[in-house]
Amino acid sequence: MNPVLRDLVDRQGGLVTRGTACQVLPEWTLEQACSSGSLLRVLPEVFVDPRLLEVPPPSTDRVPLIGRLAPDAAHRAALAWADGRAVLSHVSALQVWGLPGRSTGAPLHLSAPAAAGIRSQPGVLVHRYHNFLLEPPCVVERRGLPVTRLERTLVDSWPLLASADRRAPVIRAVNDRLTTPERLAGALAVAPRLTGRAELRTLLTRLAEGCRSPLEIWGHERVFTGPGMPAFRRQARVRVGRRTMYLDLFAERERVDIELDGATTHGDPRQREIDLRRDALLATAGILTVRFAHRRLVHEPDEVRRETRAILASRR
């Protein structure tokens, strides 16, 4: 490759546009680099160093070149092609936000104003909206890249994710305090035709009620509800001595803390020791901790419900 072109590509992280290259070199130099395989054209006017390609997945002949790039390179290539007319959105923006989203080989997503004059390309889907502005509050910068704001990103991504994967980004975003159920509900309110809207609304209701994991949501909906169950406080904040703890389900009158142990907790001696010390500390404040394992909650919900009612009755 021409040394000037090589230096230009290296200084831009392995990516160059035709417009940038032709400011300092004749166009034939760029074409020659492509013919020799030193550069790859991944989008109109956008070229990358082949070293940015990830290990090719099966049947790569059906995957556009931009779908074979490492995520950061793919994002930068799509934005270079958009040239300020669109921003990363949907599952592509989820990836930039550090949340589970786009998988390798899947199309990238951009959002743009309706009048932006930009159309989808192989491997890149462009969503055009009226009343969408390429500035705050519609757009923010994350990791140096322009993306849709988090609440809109999560709502837009919801119907694109597999049913089993939809909840994880929303729950994690709330748990990491990147957003709140209330702000997400506001974003959902302006998307009345969203596929799966009712399911997302239910999830946001559960999160607003204090559930913080799929297991807690399962327990809320199928186990710790109905006749004989108190109005549990979820993620109740309790301070004992110098330590502050959050209880999964707290029956305040009975002074009973119900803890829901996830599947990964079982068999971890270190976590077991931490839990025992925590339970002992709560006992000094008169709080009885009762733990139910993931297996029992999922496979024995009726038995767990009966045990819980009996424990609560004995404490009244």
Residue 57 lies in a domain: no
What pLDDT digit, counting tens, does each position of 201-231 carry?
A: 999 999 998 888 888 898 888 899 888 899 9
- Say yes or no: 188 and 274 in one domain: no
Q: Which of 58-67, 89-98, 127-136 has the lowest mean pLDDT?
A: 58-67
Residues 277 and 292 grouped into a single domain: yes
Neighbours of 72 (CB within 10 A): 16
Reply yes or no on whether the pLDDT at 58 is more than 70.
no
149 and 200 in a common domain: yes
For residue 113, the cross-strand partners are 129
Q: Based on C-alpha coordinates, what's the Rg of the chain?
A: 26
pLDDT at 85 over 80: yes
Q: Are residues 95 and 157 in the same domain?
A: yes
Same domain, 196 and 102: yes
Amino acid at 280: A
Q: Does 64 fall in a domain?
A: no
Section 166-171 average pLDDT: 95
In this structure, the answer to whether residues 172 and 103 fall within a common structural domain is yes
Query: Would you give the distance in Å from CA 132 to the centre of its chain?
Result: 22
Asked if the structure places residue 264 within a domain, the reply is yes
Residue 60 lies in a domain: no
pTM of the model: 0.84
pLDDT in tens, 93-123: 999 999 987 676 789 999 999 999 899 999 9
Q: Could you list the beta-strand ranges (E) of 28-144.
A: 40-43, 46-48, 87-88, 108-113, 124-129, 139-142
Domains contained in the chain, number: 3
Domain boundaries, position 154: 71-208
Q: What's the mean per-residue pLDDT of the chain? A: 91
Residue type (1 letter), 186: G
Q: What is the pLDDT of residues 236-266, one digit of tens each?
A: 999 999 999 999 999 999 999 999 987 555 5
Q: Are residues 157 and 34 in the same domain?
A: no
Q: What percent of the chain has pLDDT over 70?
A: 95
Residue 264's pLDDT is: 56
The answer as to whether 257 is a domain residue is yes
Let me know if residue 127 belongs to a domain. yes
Residue 8 shares a structural domain with residue 86: no
Same domain, 283 and 223: yes
In a domain, 226, yes or no: yes
CATH of the domain at 240: 3.40.960.10
